[in-house]
Amino acid sequence: MSTSNKICFTISELPKGAVFSSTDFVSLGTRASIDQTLYRMVNAREIVRVARGFYTVSGNVNNSTLADAIQKKTGEEVGQALPNSPGSKVMMVPTSGQSRTVITDTHQIQFRRMSQRKIKLSQTAKGLIMLELWNRGIKNLTTIEIKNATGDWSESEIEAYTSLVPDWLRSAVKQSNEQRKSIKIGLSGAYDWSNPQIKDYALISKVLEKPKFEDIVRLCHYYGVTRVKRVFRQNAFEPMTNATVARMLKNISKGFNQLETEKGNVPA
């Protein structure tokens, strides 16, 4: 059987949508005979040239199939397609090799040369989310958007993916996912819902302003009675609130001292 017939037969056995190159037929003949056969088949419209050195039986090419073919032929590292705008027919795929554009019957695939970090991010679903945030840039992101994108990730996942991004995005992601102080302390209400990075003084003041005994107890346990009393003295509350908080702090202080005494420790 001639080289041409061998190549034609091999191509006929390939699955629908497969992408191939001349290197797939090196065992069937010389490089010159292989190139001549593929050239003739393209002219006869038996196969379609989708990119330099790459062919398919039809113009409908799956980007992952093409990426696999490129990796096999060139050895370059290729990632997954990045999310594109709704309705867009352009797909961008990170690669460690040369940039190239492939036009198919239905869409355009742009292989864009990128850094190893971006290629690695593009290889997983969550990595693609992180890469999209990176590509948007610090000026086009809000804390809420970052929180919505990464809020359900585990700490280990956040550590793993932020190790591949610039410092500005690493800090933004960690800050967006930082546990609110009201949750950490165990307060009954989200006193810091509008300001996740609320200062300690402001948080203590907010709790004292609308005093709930259980919340003030938790404040004293977390910050210490002395600090809570100091913030209380620095605020000018309404007379009734002032009297209520003063009474609560007095009772809490007595209770804490009694616990210390029972434990055999010296009262603070």
Q: Are residues 40 and 77 in the same domain?
A: yes
Q: What is the pLDDT of residues 50-68, one digit of tens each?
A: 777 888 887 667 667 777 8
- Across 131-140, average pLDDT: 90
- H-helix or E-strand containing 179? none
**Is residue 165 located within the same domain as residue 186?**
no
Mean pLDDT of 227-254: 94
Number of domains in the chain: 3
d(CA 19, CA 14): 9
Residue numbers of the domain that contains 105: 3-120
Is residue 49 domain-shared with residue 131, that is, in the same domain?
A: no
How much is the mean pLDDT over the chain?
A: 86
Among the ranges given (87-101, 136-150, 217-231), the one the predictor scored with the smallest mean pLDDT: 87-101
Choose one of 120, 147, 163: the last residue of a domain: 120
Residue 91, strand partner residues: 109
Cα(25)–Cα(251) distance, integer angstroms = 87
Report d(CA 97, CA 245) in Å as an integer: 67
- Report the alpha-carbon distance of residue 33 to residue 204 in Å, rounded: 81
Percentage of the chain lying above the pLDDT 90 cut: 39
Q: How far apart are the C-alpha atoms of 254 and 243, rounded to whole Å? A: 17
Find the mean pLDDT for residues 140-161.
90
| C-beta neighbour count of 119 within 10 angstroms | 22
User: Per-residue confidence at 268, pLDDT binned at 50, 70, 90?
Assistant: very low
Assign 160 to helix, strand or coil.
helix
- For 239-243, what is the mean pLDDT? 94
Mean pLDDT value across residues 207-234:
94
Q: Which of 104, 120, 136 is the last residue of a domain?
A: 120
What pLDDT is recorded for position 213? 95
Same domain? For 53 and 11 the reply is: yes
